[in-house]
Amino acid sequence: MAQAHRRAPWVVPTLLVVLVGLPILEVWLLIRVGHLIGALPTIGILVAEAVLGAWLMRREGSRAWRALRDAARRGELPVDEATDAALVLVGGLLLLLPGFVTDVVGLVFLLPFTRPLARRVVQLLVARGAIRISATVGVDRARVGLDDQTIEGEVVEGDPGGSQAGRRPEIDGR
């Protein structure tokens, strides 16, 4: 039986902080700002941020989509452009949510002069995750059933039999 995927030990606590802690922080901050400047100005700021977010998402989203399309037409791998498009989408959604913390993160994702930094951070995190996944995917033994036949084999890293340049790898098994 295949080995179950093990999560990193920080995943569950991080999700708890984000899903429980962030809304609590947002409500606390809204109450504090409401006490300082009043309820109506606080609501006005939230509405203005939502309108700004919708406008920015539309403007930056069309730019990101155009850049993505242009890179694809040139035959390039549109990694930066795809990351920008995702950041614009997430940033716009964060600005539409009521709260000041999500608005700040949304602005960082949406504004053209802060998005390159956010893009680098996201790409670094994705690359680290991909490296971690590729390191844990090394299967030692495999069983594949094809039309009532079973093919067993072993994955061998490196080149144990000397130089085999130009030759296809051989599978030993039943």
Average pLDDT across each block of 10 residues of the chain; the chain has 174 residues. List them in order: 59 85 93 95 93 90 91 88 92 90 93 93 84 60 52 59 54 55
Q: Is residue 69 part of a domain?
A: yes
Q: What integer pLDDT is reported at residue 48 of this predicted model?
A: 92
Q: Which domain holds residue 118?
A: 25-133
DSSP 54-115: HHHHHHHHHHHHHHHHHHHHTT---HHHHHHHHHHHHHHHHHHSSSHHHHHHHHHHHSTTTH
Element (H, E) at 127: helix 115-136
CB 61 within 8 A of CB 92: yes
Q: Is residue 124 part of a domain?
A: yes
Q: What integer pLDDT is reported at residue 6 of this predicted model?
A: 62
Hey, which residues does 143 pair with through a beta bridge? 152
Q: Is residue 55 part of a domain?
A: yes
Q: What integer pLDDT is reported at residue 155 of this predicted model?
A: 62
pTM exceeds 0.75: no
Q: For helices 100-110 and 115-136, give the axis angle rounded to 10 degrees.
A: 90
Q: Is residue 9 part of a domain?
A: no
Q: Is residue 93 part of a domain?
A: yes
End-to-end Cα spacing for the chain:
19
What's the number of CA atoms in the CB half-sphere (13 Å) around residue 43? 3
CB 57 within 8 A of CB 88: yes
Q: Is residue 163 part of a domain?
A: no
Q: Is residue 7 part of a domain?
A: no
How many domains are there within the chain?
A: 1
Q: Is residue 18 part of a domain?
A: no
